[in-house]
Amino acid sequence: MTNFKTLKLILGNLYIVSTPIGNYSDLTLRAFNILKLSDYIICEDFKTTSRLIKFFNIQKELKLLNEHNEKDEIIIDEFINDLLNGKNISLVSDCGTPVWADPGKKLLERCIELKIHLDFINGSNSILAALVISGFDISRFHYIGFLSQKREIRKKELRNLKNMQKTFILLETPYRLNTIIKDIAEELPDRDLFIGMDLTTKDEMHLRGKASEILSQLSAQNKENLKGEFVIVVRK
């Protein structure tokens, strides 16, 4: 790892830029200007971000930082070197807020260590959207995020949440919606749920009720294999 602390350079800025979670109209004017003025954009997926910047007629080089390479010190050093040499760089995820359940934490930590200027460009966030739309008491809430991919461990994690006296938020991958609802039906049968799917898009869907009730709704609509980006809010 390069010892950047001994270098005396003009520092650039790392912009942590929130992007739309589904509806491109949600990109803020500030985010648009930052992306347009950045020297390049660090993204989670070339295809997704290329589609976004093409829509807004932004022509920028894209560089990749995702779950597969974010632990590579050489890649992080390249970004840090550019920042220390005065480049202004935007960090985006596939959608929503970078670093929050998305890659970028290692780069952020290095910037903090080296006192590189950070600027958060606020915008769409699926978790906050789901919390607000849920109608639950969110004066105090707990972000859980992703549970284990292994069913027995996941069920144990859910059992440990039985006594949680706050509304809490769960995330899962699109293809495991039905699986996690079944697990919640077994372990937290009396808790009310709100599931927000494909939020801000034309296909936005809201599911409400106990887990067993939601499973019945999906079955009645022949949507047992429903797939899409979703957030689960569990009522206290």
Q: 4-13, 96-105, 192-201 — which is least confidently predicted?
A: 4-13
> What number is the average pLDDT over the span 171-181?
91
pLDDT tens digit string along 27-61?
Answer: 999 999 999 999 999 999 999 999 999 999 999 99
Task: Indicate if 126-234 has the same CATH topology as 4-121.
Answer: no
- The domain limits of the chain are 4-121, 126-234
Question: What's the pTM value of the predicted model, to 2 decimals?
Answer: 0.84
pLDDT tens digit string along 79-92?
Answer: 999 999 999 999 99
Asked if CATH classification 3.40.1010.10 holds for the domain at 4-121, the reply, yes or no, is: yes
pLDDT at residue 174 tops 90:
no
Residue 198 to residue 206: CA distance in whole angstroms: 9
CB atoms within 10 A of CB 197: 21
Residue 235 to residue 191: CA distance in whole angstroms: 6
pLDDT tens digit string along 2-29?
Answer: 454 444 456 899 999 999 999 999 999 9
pLDDT tens digit string along 217-233?
Answer: 888 887 777 888 899 99
Give CATH superfamily name and number for 126-234.
Answer: Tetrapyrrole methylase, C-terminal domain (3.30.950.10)
Task: Tell me the residue length of the chain.
Answer: 236
Whole-number pLDDT of residue 1: 52
Q: Are 115 and 5 in contact (CB under 8 A)?
A: no
pLDDT at residue 187 tops 50:
yes
